[in-house]
């Protein structure tokens, strides 16, 4: 008997594509035991059984673990699949979940459905316009910042979802939603004028890009290519040129005072003699070190010592100091702190127009996270196009830098003209136009 069963299954395995077996697999009247046999017969028949609305839930649960993707997809389509299995499969097959009649019933019957859907599934289904607005509102309240940003930057995100995201507690998410083409529309002409305000007010790591440029302007360290990469109507930032008028003789007299506040006054004063600053450097107080690192009159030897300080605020001021020598800036290009690197990279490139590859040697951009350091490098007209693919970013400022860069490949630009962000799209279109005219 066992031999007969084995032979029967072997023969059926060879005939798995026969119309008779396929008909049994999809027939709602086929007994459960027979469906179990057919599902174990071949992947082809298992796919059909997974789609049969009469297939037992337990068998559907087993088929949901199949190595065959099409079988799992059909389980997600099956209206007889249990809620738990269906919601778990929704992460991999969001379209099948949303279109499953069972899911429609769940939306109607369960007001707390958002709370029982696995988070990964929730992330996958939010872009489908068949979802009720009330469901979307509840879902958005459950999602983390990165997931919401991913949603806000998705070109397919609907206007209804974007309306919810513009009020997000996360500034990056709200900004991305406001600039989304599905909400704000395309920018075919005059885009550069509208782009300025958005660019300068956009933030990375809690700081506005405009504030960062202003800090660079104060130390005369905005790279020329960074200015050229901004929209054409960008105007120069105001310069602050504060000065202390205390006579040198009085400063030398004050240097004899060991009071910390007096020493801080001397360390901050750009007229303090070099010899006094060298003596002050012997004091390791962090406030004093910060002030010395910021003083344009501090000698290179002291700056080199301060560049190795444990406190990032000291190293940041060394990177910002207009008199910091090139060899010290190179040391800071690979600093562990982004707040240090951003100034070191900007200042190095501002005074070494052909220094990009030196920067890339010390600062492996493809392994970094979105920050002002990366943004400056991405703006460089000689940025290698082969590295662009490794710098996909959820931060639209970085995508803008790539979109406007004259060295960006045509294929990449054709991809960016469909970006979710209206400014990125406009910059990519303009870049393609300039290339077509032979201007780049």
> Per-residue pLDDT tens for 40-54?
988 999 999 999 999
Looking at residue 184, what is its pLDDT?
Answer: 86
Q: What is the pLDDT of residue 86?
A: 96
HSE on the CB side for 368, CA within 13 Å? 25
Query: What pLDDT shows up at residue 56?
Result: 94
Q: What are phi and psi of 244, to 5 degrees?
A: -100, 135
pLDDT above 90 coverage of the chain, percent: 30
Q: How far is the C-alpha of 33 from the C-alpha of 271, rounded, in Å?
A: 94
Contacts of 146 (CB under 8 A, 6+ apart): 394
pLDDT digits (tens, 9 = 90+) for 390-407: 667 888 888 998 998 888
Q: Which domains does the chain have, with CATH numbers?
A: 24-81 (no CATH), 248-438 (1.25.10.10)
Residues contacting 42, CB < 8 A, separation 6+: 13, 16
**Cα 309 from Cα 289, distance rounded (Å):** 9
Say how far apart CA 387 and CA 248 lie, in whole Å.
52
Residue 397 is encoded by which pair of tokens? 């400022």
Indicate whether 116 pLDDT > 80: yes
The larger pLDDT score, comparing residue 422 to residue 248, is at 422
* Tokens 């077996």 sit on residue: 21
Kindly report, residue by residue over 241-277, the tens digit of the pLDDT.
Answer: 233 455 666 656 566 666 777 777 778 888 888 888 8
pLDDT of residue 237: 33
Kindly report the pTM of this predicted structure.
Answer: 0.61
421 phi, psi to nearest 5 deg:
-85, 130
For position 11, what pLDDT does the model report?
Answer: 46
pLDDT of residue 354: 83
* Assigned token pair, 118: 């696995």
Does 217 have pLDDT greater than 80?
no
Give pLDDT, residue 251: 59
- Structure-token match 């070190």, residue found: 289
Residue 204 three-state SS: strand
Percent of the chain with pLDDT over 70: 85
Q: How much is the average pLDDT of 408-420?
A: 91
Tell whether the model's pLDDT for residue 240 goes beyond 50: no
Q: Report strand pairing: 207-208 vs 203-204.
A: antiparallel
pLDDT interval class at 239 (50, 70, 90):
very low
Nearest CA among 98, 339, 370, 323 for reference residue 212: 339
More confident: 166 or 230 = 166
Task: Name the token pair of 20.
Answer: 């008779």
pLDDT tens by residue, 91-104: 999 999 999 999 98
Mean pLDDT of the chain: 82
């Amino acid at each position: 008997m066992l031999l007969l069963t084995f032979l029967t299954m072997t023969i059926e395995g060879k005939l798995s594509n026969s119309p008779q077996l396929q008909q049994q697999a999809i027939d709602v009247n086929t007994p459960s035991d027979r469906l179990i046999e057919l599902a174990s017969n071949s992947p082809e028949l298992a796919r059909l059984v997974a789609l049969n609305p009469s297939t037992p839930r337990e068998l559907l649960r087993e088929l949901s673990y199949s190595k065959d993707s099409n079988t799992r997809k059909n389980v997600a389509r099956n209206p007889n699949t249990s809620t738990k299995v269906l919601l778990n499969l929704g992460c991999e097959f969001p379209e099948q979940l949303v279109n499953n009649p069972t899911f429609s019933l769940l939306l109607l019957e369960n007001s707390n459905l958002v709370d029982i859907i696995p988070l990964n599934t929730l992330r996958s289904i939010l872009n489908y316009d068949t979802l009720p607005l009330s469901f979307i509102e509840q879902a958005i309240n459950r999602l983390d910042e990165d997931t919401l940003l991913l949603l806000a930057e998705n070109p397919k995100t609907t206007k209804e979802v974007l309306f919810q995201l513009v009020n997000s507690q996360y500034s990056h998410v709200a900004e991305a939603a406001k600039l989304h083409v599905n909400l704000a529309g395309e920018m075919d002409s005059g885009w550069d004028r509208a782009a300025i305000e958005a660019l300068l007010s956009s933030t990375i790591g809690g700081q506005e890009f405009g504030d960062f440029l202003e800090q660079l302007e104060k130390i005369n360290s905005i790279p020329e290519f960074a200015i050229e990469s901004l929209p054409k109507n960008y105007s120069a930032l105001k310069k602050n040129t504060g000065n202390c008028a205390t006579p040198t003789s009085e400063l030398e007299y004050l240097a004899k005072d060991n009071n910390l506040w007096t020493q801080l006054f001397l360390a901050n004063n750009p007229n303090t003699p070099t010899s006094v600053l060298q003596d002050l450097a012997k004091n390791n107080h962090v406030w004093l070190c910060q002030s010395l690192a910021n003083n344009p009159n501090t000698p290179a030897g002291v700056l080199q010592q301060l560049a190795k300080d444990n406190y990032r605020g000291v190293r940041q001021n060394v990177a910002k100091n207009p008199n910091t020598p090139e060899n010290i800036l190179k040391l800071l290009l690979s600093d562990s702190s982004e707040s240090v690197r951003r100034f070191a990279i900007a200042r190095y490139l501002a005074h070494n127009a052909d220094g990009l590859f030196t920067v890339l040697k010390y600062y492996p951009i493809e392994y970094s996270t979105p920050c002002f350091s990366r943004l400056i490098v991405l703006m460089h007209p000689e940025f290698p196009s082969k590295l662009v693919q490794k710098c996909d970013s959820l931060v639209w400022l970085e995508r803008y830098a790539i979109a406007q860069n004259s060295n960006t490949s045509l294929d990449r630009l054709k991809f960016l003209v469909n970006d979710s962000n209206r400014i990125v799209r406009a910059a990519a279109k303009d870049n393609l136009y300039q290339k077509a005219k032979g201007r780049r």
